[in-house]
Amino acid sequence: MSRKVLITGASRGIGREIAISFAGNKDNLVLCCKNNIDDLKALAVELSEKYGIMCEAYVCDVSDPDSVKELYDKAGDVDVIVNNAGVAHIGLLTDMDVTDWKSITGTNLDSLFYTSKFFVPGMIRAGSGRIINISSVWGAVGASCEVAYSASKGGVNALTRALAKELAPSGISVNAVSCGVIDTDMNRKHLSDEELEELCEEIPMGRMGEAEEVASLVLMVSQAPIYMTGQVITIDGGWL
Ligand code: NAP
């Protein structure tokens, strides 16, 4: 039976590829993004025509609880949540202003509380569900000049493990997919070609990961035995 899957931050990058891979699995999709709604709507039309699925596209700022509540009111209950939306910030922590800190932690971590708060009660009523959080290797080992980002992803890992314990009795699994360097706008925006090349030299696979590779892992995790829960699964080309 086809599932209804919420994917946050699906307008581009990893979230877009996750949407494509779940659509290929004939799942029905609820997609959202904050800014690039025209791109997201075009993707929704493309996927619904190509795969004969229901695919809805909404504007939702996942860092804003009212916006997530509005999304729930429009979209209704789902079977799978992929918390993918995220933002990065590079710079010294002492140079960071409070607004930027709140934006990073709000988008990357608080958002997981909001999607859980509004979408998990329906999963509990159904007695089943799957939550997959997109994390980062920086959440485990920390990165200089990405302290807020690392802290937010460390929070994602801890939330994953704790919520998995809380929701296991309700038949809901909670796992995270923790990425190394993946070739998307997030890195292209913050790092020069030279810096990216240097990074690739440190990665045993000798290259960045592709968003499609992450997406196929996320689909696999969504299909894994429900007994697998509370796991943070790394995809980083053998880097860390
Ligand atoms: P990306 O290409 O910059 O895309 C980010 C996506 O998140 C976009 O769809 C964006 O929507 C959406 N988004 C940002 N803020 C949002 C908000 N407040 N509300 C709703 N949507 C929002 O980034 P990416 O590389 O695909 O990253 C996806 C996830 O993977 C993130 O959680 C990131 O931390 C994680 N990750 C990425 C890497 C990497 O190397 N790329 C490594 C580790 C982890 P708009 O288009 O509307 O702005």
Span 115-124, pLDDT tens digits: 999 999 999 9
Structural domains in the chain (count): 1
Tell me whether residue 81 is in a domain. Answer: yes
Tokens at 228, concatenated = 């697998």
Q: How far does the centroid of ligand 1 lie from the alpha carbon of residue 8, in Å?
A: 9
Instruction: Supply the pLDDT for residue 1.
Output: 81
Q: Is 149 a catalytic residue?
A: yes
Cβ(172)–Cβ(123) below 8 Å: yes
Q: Is residue 103 part of a domain?
A: yes
Average pLDDT over residues 133-160: 98
Domain containing 70 equals 4-234
What is the predicted pLDDT for the residue at 190? 86
How confident is the model at residue 88, as a pLDDT? 97
Residue 239 lies in a domain: no
pTM of the model: 0.99
- Confirm whether 82 is domain-assigned: yes
Q: Give φ, ψ of 79 to 5 degrees.
A: -95, -30
Does residue 45 fall inside a structural domain?
yes
Average pLDDT for 29-52:
98
Given a contact cutoff of 8 angstroms between Cβ atoms, the answer to whether 118 and 131 are in contact is no
Query: Residue 176 in contact with residue 233, Cβ under 8 Å?
Result: yes
Tell me the C-alpha distance between 155 and 105, whole Å. Answer: 9
For residue 178, name the pLDDT band (cuts at 50, 70, 90): very high
Model confidence pLDDT, tens digit, residues 75-102: 999 999 999 999 999 999 999 999 999 9
Confidence of residue 48 (pLDDT cuts 50, 70, 90): very high
- pLDDT for 43 equals 98
pLDDT tens digits for 180-206? 999 999 999 889 999 999 999 999 999
Assess if residue 240 is contained within a domain.
no
Q: How far is the CA of 101 from the centre of ligand 1 (A)?
A: 16
Determine the pLDDT at residue 57. Answer: 99
Q: In testing the pocket of ligand 1, which one of 7, 11, 14 has its CB within 8 Å of the most ligand atoms? A: 14
Nearest CA owner, ligand 1 atom 9: 9
Mean pLDDT within 167-174: 99
**Ligand 1 nearest atom to the CA of residue 16, by list position:** 9
Q: What is the mean pLDDT of the chain?
A: 98
> 163: domain CATH number?
3.40.50.720
For the segment 130-140, the average pLDDT, to the nearest whole number, is 99
